[in-house]
Amino acid sequence: MPRARTRRRARGGTCAHSSVLGPARQAWICRRRTVPELRLWRSIRCLRKVPQRSAKLPPRHPTPANSDTSTMPPDSDPTRVVLVGATGRMGGTAAGWIEAAEDLVLVARPGSGDDLARSLSRSEAQVGLDLTVAGLGAAHGQAMLAAGIRPVIGTSGVTPKEIEDLDRRAREAGLGGLVVPNFSLGIWLLQRASVEAAACFAHSEIMEMHSPHKQDSPSGTALDTARRMEAVGPKVPIHSLRLAGLHSDQEVIFGGPGEILRISHRVSSPECFEAGLLCSLRYAVGALGVGSGLDLAMESSGRAPGSGLASHDLGPNIS
């Protein structure tokens, strides 16, 4: 019986496969093999090949017939949001939160060089979120109302008089909105606790601490906290500190005979603003008039004040 050709051997008489194969398999490959053995070897190699799935086969998980968004009921359409200040640090983060929410859709992001009034009118948005710099919130809120958009202003520096003007104009147009100096749930709870304590202590002061990059001083959060406390107690002094290494801290200190009460809040990540921001956008959709403070959005989320608030009460995609 004719013999098949032997495989090429490396220098020194060793097999070329000796560096990668075991001794037993190396000896079988390197010896002289018959033609039937070669045919058997090729057949085994063909059987080891994994067959490719045909392109004509249907997918394993076909798309349901009711998955088309065109068949969704009108009341499930997401709320259209325009974000003013998306190029900033906070604005860029908030844009990601809005895009991840199932009931919200980001339709426009006008920049600082764009014509704001024109961008707002073209956006066809229902709610507008302002996250620019201190002092621009009131003007941007008026521009949103002029375009038929409900404003949610998260920028510091909006005065009580400006909030009254926004509220009056919004009610005349049948719209609503919200001015929120701070979207943090922790600050919301701090303010509620501080109001309770202000009714019991005759002396209190606020210390707010931020990085040197914060332009306004005192902060809008500290001013809002002081206004709430002064509604039930005496005037509250505010101390501001701008120091490298700080992010966003606030402490309310109460003094009484023989005791000191401190209520403090520290921000370690912008994630603490997500729940309050999304809840404020959802609140503005059905609001009439422009109010101030995160408590309006929190109280409308399904829980009465004082009964506690869980993250699942604030809407979808909040955890």
> Is the Cα dihedral 59, 60, 65, 66 positive or negative?
negative
Catalytic: which of 17, 61, 213, 214? Answer: 214
Measured over the CA atoms of residue 291, residue 297, residue 300 and residue 304, the dihedral's sign is negative
Q: Which two tokens stand for residue 172?
A: 């005349």
3-state secondary structure at position 156: coil
What sections of the chain are H helices per DSSP? 23-30, 35-48, 89-100, 116-123, 137-146, 160-172, 185-198, 220-230, 274-286, 294-299
Count CB atoms within 10 A of the CB of residue 70: 4
Residue 149 per-residue DSSP state: -
214 is catalytic: yes
34-38: Cβ within 8 A, 24+ apart: 34/1, 34/3, 34/4, 35/1, 35/2, 35/4, 37/4, 38/4
User: From the candidates 49, 161, 210, 239, which is the catalytic residue?
Assistant: 210
- Tell me how far apart the terminal alpha carbons of the chain are, to the nearest angstrom: 77
CA separation for the pair 103, 100 (Å, rounded): 9
CA gap 188, 49 in Å, rounded: 64
Three-class SS of 264-293 = EEECCCHHHHHHHHHHHHHHHHHCCEEEEC
Active site residue 210: yes
Cite the active site residues. 210, 214
